[in-house]
Structure 1
Amino acid sequence: MSTLFPNYARRPVHLVEGKGTIVIDNDGKKYLDFTSGIAVLSLGHAHPAIVEAIQRQSEKLWHTSNLFESPEQEKLASSLIRDTHFAHAFFCNSGAEANEAAIKLARKHTGKHVIITFENSFHGRTFGAMSATGQEKVRKGFGPLLETFRTIPFNNIEQLEASIDASIAAIMLEVIQGEGGVNQITPEYAQVISGICKSKGILLIVDEVQTGIGRTGTRYAYEQTVLQPDIITLAKGLGGGFPIGAMLGTSELHDTFGPGTHGTTFGGNPLAVAVAQTVLDNIFTNEFLSTVNEKSSYFMDKLKKALPAYKIVGSGLLLGIVCPNEVAPYIAQAEKAGLLLVAAGPNVIRLLPPLTATTREIDQTINIITNILLVPSI
């Protein structure tokens, strides 16, 4: 019997090494990693710049309390908010922690307690973030959750308008519901949300944990919409594999999080900040983001031609193949063929390659997927 709790449905593969998009298991078998650690390895495995940043910082300072000034955190915050309407950042260790911070900030700033969230959303597994998540499988078995979240159908304007009252502190959403099925917000819905938030004084929180840091072809996914969030949350790709999360907020929110209102022991530690800064230095350039969009167009066009009967959804290098039945067997077959994939809900194959993946690797992936979906297994 394992000494670990069985809270993960672990696959029988022991990965021991990785470089770029390729990982190797303990038997020497190679795989194309189109999970990226679930949208985490934005620059791939063992990117030289990240390795150098960790080595360099590890010889200087690993940890210091947030009671002391941190010019490195200031620089990272400036990189994240540059050319945006945001003014301030808070650093933590994960997406769930970033969302907890956002929930607390919104409630404290408005003095209200109800936050609207959406069916099929995913915001994390801590208690507040779990309560915000619109998936029963995540919430089941934990008893009464926080009652101050009002979960409604996504992209349903009538239901949204009916849910608005004087108790609403914020609306919390993902521009693309990565975990819930690669469901994108419609332009019409984004427009209505924007108008409601402005006219009613409701804060808008956009969860960019999976979609941020170039994953969808822009720095942040909200930039492809009319939305102007008051708060966004980040993690996953921000550290390129090293744990770090962040919350960005507008200047109006600054005084709400005064000393003692919120904190973290490890958040924004020197190692994490050094890695995240290196990630941004590589990704937050027009040239790099252009290559992500080029690869996205290439990937989508090839998938649509190879799989004309399947709906291809998503943006950037967060794509999904909508299947008529459950995709778990397909993912298992892909693994045997040397391709690592994850699902997005029961019926969608989620494609999350490193942003550095090559067109050759994309072609190899399409060939494997096509053989699995179009050729009956024996």
Structure 2
Amino acid sequence: MTRLALTGANGFLGWHVRVLARAIGWPEPVVVSRSDLVDPAVVAARIDGVDRVVHLAGVNRGEPAEVAGGNVQLAAALARGLRRCATPPQTVVFANSVQAGNGTPYGDSKATAAATLAAARPDLVDERLPNLYGEHGRPFYNGVTATFCRLLADGREPELHEDRELTLVHATDAAARLIGAPVGGTWDAAMPGLRISVRELARRLAGYAATYRRGEIPALTDRHAVRLFNTYRSFTFPDQHPILLPQHADVRGELVETTKSHGGAGQVFCSTTRPGVSRGEHFHLAKIERFVVLRGRAEISLRRVGRDEVIRFRVGGDESVAVDMPTMWVHKILNVGSDDLLTLFWANEIFDPDRPDTVAERVESAVPAAAGAAA
């Protein structure tokens, strides 16, 4: 297993790197904080003997001098620590940008940062990343996708100041490239890009938002559609849950429309759960799951990977609601009633035992669950 050390571990890309490392089963990465970077001796101690250092810390937005100075200073601080390291890391990777050297304060500072690190480590792996998107990006900072998603989730419309072509890569794929993740998962270290204009991106996300407000699932016909929709969903959770489902009643009884999917693969399954028993205790990197309780009483608990706060929903068969599991959130459903719990589940893909996209971890603890804990 690869031992990682990360700068910028608490940022957008840093979180995706840590989630992916956990999904692969690697040890929790060593975090090199900005306060650590002040002291080369502390940096050297943190990274001593690790397999791979990934430098993610940087400044994306702000005053030009702040952006330029911040990126260079952070790289210089890591370089000083690398020079003092008794057992140097086998690999040093810099999360650079395709904008490096483009004449802007940001682009030129990224190029200077790369040169600074290469002076300390001539074998530096300089990865030039395109525009990234993904769950829980920071609006107005981490890119236009996060900004559009935030606006749409709040019921506002994105404003287009200019239209240009973008190449978008999901943050998990970028994380896989940076850490040298093994092949075989839902990630792709080749970083397949989506070529799209800003206008078309806004249109597509607005379509997802309009469909999802009705409790429906938009057409998810390729991996970028799934990941863009998951990115949008991350901005709706938990405030817009549970989801009210359309219900129709007449003298014969009631009919509830549990899932309307506009395209793509999918699978529906049901389970019964004994009183006091739970199912789940896992998270997914890309798979979408919807829970609808048909009979009984349940508590659905969720925790974002790497965080401590647990969010709980009490739902029952007498309610026509769904709770969609956000990607990269550990979740479980517990029977809190006195009778068997009957639950309907919908997933956006047919289960593949060779690529289950199901990572065992307990909701109540950051410690991974024992083998077999996943339902």
Q: Which TM-score applies when normalising by structure 1?
A: 0.26
**Looking at CA atoms only, which structure, 1 or 2, has the larger radius of gyration?**
2
Q: Give 1 or 2: higher strand fraction.
A: 2
Q: Which TM-score applies when normalising by structure 2?
A: 0.26
Which structure is higher in RCO with an 8 Å CA cutoff and minimum separation 6?
Answer: 1
